Amino acid sequence: MVRPEKFIDDSGRRVDGRLPNELRPIKMQIGLLKNASGSALVEYGLTKVIVAVYGPRESQKFVSLPDRASLRVRYHMAPFSTEERKNPVPTRREIELSKVLRESLESIVMTNYFPRTTIDVFVEVLQSDGGTRTVAATAASLALADAGIPIKALFGGVAIGKVDGVLVVDINEVEDMYGDADMPIIAAPDLGLVTLYQLNGVLSKDEFQEAFDMAINAITRIVNMEKETLKSSYQVENKEGDIEK
């Protein structure tokens, strides 16, 4: 991978032809795994992430909480997800991302309904091209909904970046690697809540605030797609062949 000469060309388009505020093509699919309570596959451009949710199921004794369910989150990258093969042993990065993803889910999943149980969210990054943790959040939102686990609202994620001095939405790997900043954000726009933010790079105070506005706007669009995906997945045909929702 080489650093592009220009991140934004004269017509204001990015390395992959997008405008600064434009998301990559997004695909969503739910219920594709038979064993899991819920599952989802989400793609933002070349980034593909699959999430499986198991539970609520009985906790191991020593981790069981008397007033709520424990959440277990495992973020993991498949060995073939990256340019060079990634050793499947969890890295420090994967351990940190598992933690911040779990913490972002804690305030959304209604764990108080299931004391002494565990809800597992397993994330496998199948292909990585930037923004994997935010795609994982979107997939986790769908998988939890598919599992029928009560959540306060659907949520999603997007990474804001800064390239050639311009803030851009949903950065790909080149923009992440050679850009000036990478700021993943996870939010539940229907509640107006931000549940994760991180920043790697340098932003002015104003840019930092603007990045949140851009992210909330983008995540609102993503959550609307989630709603469409869920609605169309649960359409059934009645005897007359009409579609009922």
Rule CB under 8 A: which residues touch another protein?
Answer: 62-65, 68-74, 92-93, 95-96, 98-104, 106-108, 111, 181, 183, 188, 192-205, 208-209, 212-213, 216
Q: Please, what is the minimum distance in Å from the beta carbon of residue 233 to another protein?
A: 27
Query: How many Cβ atoms sit within 10 Å of the Cβ of residue 20?
Result: 15
> For another protein, which is the closer residue by CB, 29 or 64?
64
**Beta carbon of residue 236, minimum distance to another protein (angstroms, whole number):** 35
For another protein, give the closer residue by CB, 206 or 240. 206
CB of 13: closest distance to another protein in angstroms? 25
Q: Which is nearer to another protein, 29 or 212 (CB)?
A: 212
User: Of the two residues 96 and 228, which places its CB atom closer to another protein in the complex?
Assistant: 96
Q: Which is nearer to another protein, 26 or 154 (CB)?
A: 154
What distance in Å separates the CA atoms of residue 133 and residue 197, rounded to the nearest whole number? 11
CB of 40 to another protein, least distance (A): 19
Nearest to 37 by CA among 140, 119, 147: 147
Find where tokens 């990054």 sit.
Answer: 125
| CB 137, CB 157: distance < 8 Å | yes
Report residue 154: phi and psi, to 5°: -70, 150
**How far apart (Å, rounded) are the C-alpha atoms in residues 173 and 177?**
6
**Residue 29 burial by Cβ neighbours in a 10 Å radius (0-12, 13-18, 19+):** middle
d(CA 26, CA 17): 15
In whole angstroms, the minimum distance from the beta carbon of 68 to another protein comes to: 8
